[in-house]
Amino acid sequence: MKIGQVAREAGVSVDTVRFYERRGILPAAARRPSGYREFAPAAVERIRTAKALQELGFTLDEVTAALTAHDGGGATCDSERWRLEAVVARFDARIAELERAREAAAQALRDCHSGHCRLRFESP
């Protein structure tokens, strides 16, 4: 398959396909005598899998590592569960950080309503 066809079927841009190839998410494509890349049909599903992992919160490095583990043949749900646990832990930490920031902003708003606005700026 040519790169444009892979991109269309996977729902990404040609640049994304090239980027995934550079990052090792896709194996290096064979080249035609003309120099055009020739991808195996499995490249489409691999891109879809990579995008699905990213949507779950995996970083590109984590996507690459998960796919590499899968390629090695020994990956199972039990052996790979830790990857999702790490993503959930990262979300939990980010949510806690956002909750702290929200509470600080809400407190500043309550202070404004009570006449003790923190947003007062002195004129130079």
| pLDDT at residue number 7 | 97
Whole-angstrom distance, CA of residue 69 vs CA of residue 75: 6
Conformational region of residue 42, where left means phi above 0, alpha means psi within -120 to 50, and beta covers everything else: alpha
Instruction: Of 23, 17, 29, give the one whose Cα is nearest residue 65.
Output: 23
Taking the mean position of all CA atoms in its chain, how far away is CA 25? 12
| pLDDT at residue number 124 | 62
| pLDDT at residue number 119 | 77
Whole-angstrom distance, CA of residue 111 vs CA of residue 102: 14
Mean pLDDT in runs of 10 for the chain (124 residues)? 96 96 92 92 96 96 94 90 96 98 95 85 64
Tokens of 3: 């790169």
| pLDDT at residue number 74 | 84
From the CA atom positions of the chain, what is the Rg in Å? 23
| pLDDT at residue number 115 | 87
pTM: 0.79
